[in-house]
Amino acid sequence: MRITVAIISLFLAITSASAQHKVDYLHDPKKMDSIVDLSLEQNYKIESALKDLNNHSEAADDEKSTTKYYKKVYDILLPEQKKHLMVALIDKEYIAKNVKSQFQDYFKPKGFPKHHSVTIKAVLRAYENVIAHNNIAYIFDPKLADLQNQDIYSERTAWITNQYEILNKTLWLWHYGKKRYALDDALKTDFIAYHFNVYLKEDALARTRVFLKENPMQGVNKEGMQHIIKTVAKKQAKSICNTQDLITQQEPDLITAIKKAFTKKIKEALRAQKKAHKTIVTVDNGYTYEEIKAVVDKVKESYLKHKRETLFETLAEKAKKAGLDERRTTKLIALIKQKEEAITTLTNTANTVNSASLFEVNTQKTIHEIREEFSTNLANLISRKEFAAILGDDLLPAAMRNAKKETEQVLNLYTLTETQQEQVAEKIKLYYFNEIITKHYYNYQWELQKQKLGGLRYHFEKAFKKMMDEFNVKVKPSKKADNTNFQY
């Protein structure tokens, strides 16, 4: 047998005056969602309770009679039946109105992430349901209902405060991250959505977690987070590279390679943070000097290896352009590598000092012997002209620095026209270029090198005097000069 609508109507209609204000949000019985099944015994007891209530309806203790009736009905119903009765009587429209009002007043204007509004409304609805349930469950005793709800009110206040604390914490982190990493305002929404979820997971009260969906990163745009991670990683890498002497003292291309390595490493760390739902922006980059040095050493080793390989490739191309065939080009590269390996072995041996090394006989070549052997083999493999064609571009800057100095000295001694000055400058540049080529090519034999440089100087001075005679400029007596400094 089922509870009739008449019983529920009577249950609502005879509410005591002290609890009447709580009836406004109760369902109209006609709109009840469900009515629980009753046994014959339960139905009989409820009818008896109604008869007793009707018999005392005109009595002076009407309120007490009503209270007794409510208690009897509640005692008669089983827990599951009470639950369905509560569902039937709670005014959902009234609760929805309250939730909307609370959300508008406390949350919407404050900048909470949009995706979190679903959770906020769910929690507010849960609180309202509990309050409504207490008002119905203890309708026979409004004071007891108020007492039960006081804990709910306190818990709700604590929950709202907790939400504000999380929001303020997130906003502080945004302003910190924006200033430190120059984050664009376009990233603010994703930044706040992500970190609000992080803090929510860490700090939120249990009631909030009940309503969080399975995806703890809801409302977070993946592309936006990737942009944030990229920006933060690049900024942190730049900060590390700008403050570490062991990095700033390297050559520019190597510094760039180190920055890329740190950016990649930091990106990986930040992605791991994101996967673990932890904050992306931190106050400290977290790298010790030893860790930084380890990265620098690894990048430096790879960089130098790549640079060597690139240099050998470039050298091979230059050799071919200079007229060397494949066989001589291959032999040239092998000759250079052999020299480099000999020097490396010599260096490693020199750095190895132990008891056993004191008893060893040193059979290693000296650095002078290595270079002399290399220069001799090089001269036997390629001509001076081919050597100039291959390495001329690399040796030219040093030659031009010396030429500039000598040109300034000459121009200070003689009054020349602009055209004559240009001719003098070109003559000196050509001399110094030939000089540096000669020094490097004949490096294997000092006497031969000295002879070649002396002849080069003699022909230059002779050509210089002839040129000045053509300018009708008398050259001052030449003094004996060394190999690197002319005196005019």
164-191 in b/e form (b: 16+ CB < 10 A) is eebbebbbebbeebbeebebeeebbebb
Q: How many helices (H) and strands (E) does the chain have?
A: 18, 0
Q: What is the DSSP letter of 474?
A: P
Question: What is the total residue count of the chain?
Answer: 488
Q: Residue 252's pLDDT is what?
A: 85
d(CA 50, CA 66): 10
Q: Residue 364's pLDDT is what?
A: 62
- For tokens 């369905």, what's the residue? 84
Question: In whole angstroms, how large is the CA radius of gyration of the chain?
Answer: 46
Cβ–Cβ < 8 Å for 258, 241:
yes
Instruction: Establish how many alpha carbons lie within 13 A of residue 338's alpha carbon, considering only the half-sphere containing its beta carbon.
Output: 14
Cβ–Cβ < 8 Å for 266, 285:
yes
Q: Residue 425's pLDDT is what?
A: 94
Domain residue extents for the chain? 5-89, 94-220, 223-304, 322-353+364-381, 386-470
pLDDT, tens digit only, all 488 positions of the chain: 344 333 334 344 333 333 333 333 233 333 333 445 777 777 777 777 777 767 765 554 566 666 677 777 777 778 887 777 777 778 889 999 999 999 998 888 788 888 888 888 988 999 999 999 888 888 777 888 899 999 999 999 988 888 999 999 999 999 999 998 889 999 999 999 899 888 887 766 666 666 665 455 666 788 888 999 999 988 888 888 888 887 878 888 888 888 898 889 888 888 888 888 888 886 555 678 888 888 888 888 888 888 888 888 888 899 999 899 999 999 998 988 888 888 877 766 655 444 444 444 455 678 888 888 888 888 899 999 999 999 889 899 999 999 999 999 999 999 899 999 999 999 999 999 999 999 988 887 888 899 999 999 999 999 999 999 999 988 866 554 444 444 44
- Which helix (H) or strand (E) covers residue 241, if one does? helix 222-243
Token digits for 483? 């190999």
In sign, the C-alpha dihedral spanning 65, 70, 71, 73 is: positive
Cβ–Cβ < 8 Å for 307, 199:
no
- For tokens 């999380």, what's the residue? 166
Which whole-number Å values give the CA distances from 323 to 11, 147, 284, 312, 437, in the listed order? 111, 102, 57, 17, 18
